[in-house]
Structure 1
Amino acid sequence: MYLNTLICLEENVAGYGKSSKSPSGHITIMSPGIIKCYVQNLRNLPKEYTVYLISKSQNKAVRLGNINAQDTSKQTTWKVDLENLQGTGIKGKDIDCVAIVVEGESIGKTDTVLIGYAKDKYLVTSMLENALPKKQTKPQVTKPTKLEEDYEPCGCGCEGGVKPGMNKPAVPGEGPGPVIIPKPDANKPGINKPAMPGEGPCPVIIPTPDMNKPAMPGEGPGPVIIPTPDMNKPAMPGEGPGPVIIPTPDMNKPAMPGEGPGPV
């Protein structure tokens, strides 16, 4: 299909003309895939002017590219695929409007400097807004909390982690350290062997009492001695006879003459 479309451009926003002249131009779309843009009387800007192709039937605008007003030739040429303009799926035959704009961050800050229609005029604001480059916002970096800063992976592949300070002594000023209960050491002094001087307390040794050793003065009470009653002494009033004490014979002591047991 042969295509040769000519769209004339007229000033849409004042203030971009050079001196007292109004800017103007035209766009030519032709086979086999050539688009030419010619402009004049546009004043130089720090930024470039951008060309948009618009289709009313497709309700879409295509961002074609930039033109430089400082170029002495005043003409910019693009090679395009008329069956798929800039990869949007719009065909060259569908284009019925062209706009040259100064892009801003939003459609409200974008000026449509020149515009032209192949047939009737229509509103192009919404289509231009959708075609404007989207400003890439930097992802907001949030400062990690103290708990997140202290997180360390446990290294076992799970989602858990080890929090510093749980298994290591606290640094002065950070907080109390954990209570650590040491495991008993079988070879440690004071557990299974006498402590060396300066290593710790010795075990408490309870001596076995000697039952046959008389108590030393000041060590404790002596044995209780029951006096032998005098059998020939008359009893005092109220005293009565004392108890009869039968001494325990010593089985290992030889009997002395005259000492043998008397009759019961």
Structure 2
Amino acid sequence: VFKVISSEHLKEILFRFVVGDICFLIFKARDKELYDYYKENLEELSANIEHPLNFIKVYPRKMEKKQKRIFTELAWGLSPEDINFEAIFRGSSRPRGTTLDDLNVYCENVHKNYLRVLEREKSGIYLDATLRHEGLESDLHRQIKVFIVKLLAEKYGLRTKEEIEEKIWTEKKIDGATPDVYDTIEGEAYEVETLFHEDNEGRKPRDKINETIRKYEKTSIEKINIVLDNLTFLLHVRDLWEIKKNIRGWEQKTGKSVEFFTLDLKNHKLMPLSEFLQKAKELIGCENVLVSSF
């Protein structure tokens, strides 16, 4: 690519990149000589821009069919085991449902449709009982709140909007903190974190999660459940595990408990971090310090 695109032109591209929050420039090399050539040129350019580049060398890894399906389940909260892709993609020039792209594209669409349908379920009762955040709120953030409200309403047999709103509070201040969802029966707070820019106000994901936890320090709420969308959970699972490990002393000192969850759309429930890590262990096919130490 450097023989086609001049270093000066590439330098201009890199300078434009630094104005964004996160930017990726991807080069594909099939041999070591070409890779070394890429890296040498990029390192030289990196020395002359304000924000040094972070070089990540990625090798493609062949995944078994089972691993592809586990990865898809972790990323979208769905299990594609029973999906007949051959029937869905009938007439295609190649067998479908065997590649990671097939599984991801299909399950992403099912995931999004599940949450859209949820908003209209029972004449939209769960959506109507879920208040929007006063500030900016993404559609996904609101949809996850609706998902939690539905789970709690079904758990307690709440059938009308009035019954739900009486027992399941949304965006209501309690002791100075405002949970996204509050279960008045069990006294548990639910905080939704998508870690999108519009939801975390530009803060780093890990900082945002820690701030969410700390805001409950002086409240009477003892159980804090932090719920992330599936893909975000997968991307930040190590951060979540490390945060959980680091706050054990804080939990003992304050008498509070913090748990991390994501969506299990297959079983219509919330999946805890511990269960997610067990599935991740199946994905990598071996024991992992992240899993075995938790």
TM > 0.5 fold call: no
**TM-score, normalising length: structure 2:** 0.19
Which structure is larger by alpha-carbon Rg, 1 or 2? Answer: 1
**TM-score, normalising length: structure 1:** 0.20
> Quick one: higher RCO (CA 8 Å, sep 6+), 1 or 2?
2
